[in-house]
Amino acid sequence: MSNIVAFVEGYICLGGKLHKRSLYVDVKKGCIVDGREVKAYEIYNLHGQIIAPAFLELQTNGCAGFHFTNFETPESYQAQLKAVSRYLVSTGVGSFWATIPTVSPKVFKKVLPSLKPQSFVNGAELLGAHCEGPWLNPAKKGAHDAALMQVPESTDINDIYGAENLRSCIKMVTVAPELAGSSKLISSLRQNLRMVVSMGHSQADYDTGIKALETGASTITHVFNAMEPLNHRNPGLAGLISSPHKPYYSIIADGIHLHPAIVAMAYRANPERCILITDSVEMAGKPDGVYPGHAQVPHMQRKVGNRVTIEGTDTLIGSCIGLDECVRNLASFSGCSLAEAIRCATENIANLMGLYDRGVLAPGRRADLVMLDAQGHVKDVWIKGRKVA
């Protein structure tokens, strides 16, 4: 019996285009191989389906009933992470970063040790943490707790996150670049700790954003949301997406955080830098209803469809959309092809995060795969050459 599986009679998604050709996977090694070097293989007939890299979820606060700030014991936290990883697979996700919003240093230090990169049986792989805070602007707090926000000039990153967590699990930090001391912080995070630095929850103007990019920032967190609006004379951070500096930028294509026309405009600004995120909260994958709060949002929360608000108000907390639906929405909202939308959930994220072992269907990369129908609905998911969903 051969270790090689040939995926045939389908379309390979690569570089934002669909290619009518076969894909070869060594299921024992869990990686894609060059078909020209294969002598024997088993056939997997795609019957016209699309095969793409499994999606990369860059920003999720939780799902399947679990918010990443909720910590009781290491054992219970681990069990919840397993449930999250299995839910994410159902949305086509093969790898994810857990987002920790603005919480106290005590909570950061309690939660982060459990978010080291790790694998789960039949689930998406955790690649580390994205800390969205605490160096954010209270005037653009969104659903974050402004009382817990800090100014870089008067804080030490070791005191906030813990020295070991900086080395072992934090891969990305969102910072408001206009805050005092932010330039030094951004430089330290990028140059000394090799983290990806994003700009967000900010009142920064365009020139301050340019300075941050030159200092070491490389992306913008959920562009248009929690920042100054795009103005024809004062473009703010949102104006950077079409600038010669070409930052990466994430969008939430749920039709709630952004109007479909704005999603289309953002995508068209730079398709090779546009990144799809869900920014999902823990009610993703759960029925509509009222749910308790947590360390980030100490209020009851109401879920109706993909929208979650503070109970009794219209204050938006977050979305419950899946990344597969974001992909379909981007194609629908912008008129781009499904393959172009898939690139925003795979290759673009891999390039931003410096991942060279996944995110692209190329020989030597991990065989983390998602099979989709022509409309972008998830049919099968493979992790490291093994079918898991």
What residues act catalytically? 279
| The token pair that represents 271 in the structure block | 């398709």
Q: Alpha helix locations (H) across the chain?
A: 74-90, 105-111, 157-161, 163-168, 182-187, 206-215, 260-269, 323-334, 338-343, 347-353
Reduce the DSSP state of residue 159 to 3 states and report it: helix
Alpha-carbon Rg for the chain in angstroms: 20
C-alpha to C-alpha distance for 12 and 46, rounded to whole angstroms: 10
* Residue 35: closest CA among 45, 54, 21, 17: 21
User: For residues 360 and 339, is the Cβ–Cβ distance under 8 A?
Assistant: no
In this structure, how many other beta carbons lie within 10 angstroms of the beta carbon of residue 119?
12
Rounded alpha-carbon distances, angstroms, from residue 131 to 222, 253, 274, 338: 14, 21, 20, 30
**Burial class of residue 73 in the structure, from the number of CB atoms within 10 Å of its CB (0-12 exposed, 13-18 middle, 19+ buried):** exposed
d(CA 353, CA 355): 6
* 248-251 and 274-276 strand pairing: parallel
How far apart (Å, rounded) are the C-alpha atoms in residues 261 and 100?
29
Cβ atoms within 10 A of the Cβ of 378, count? 22
Please enumerate in sequence order all residues whose Cβ is within 8 A of that of 140, keeping only pairs 6 or more positions apart, or say none: 176, 201, 202, 203, 226, 227
Which positions ≥6 away from 4 have C-beta within 8 Å?
24, 25, 26, 27, 33, 38, 40, 41, 42
Per-residue three-class SS string for 41-54: CEEEECCCCEEEEC
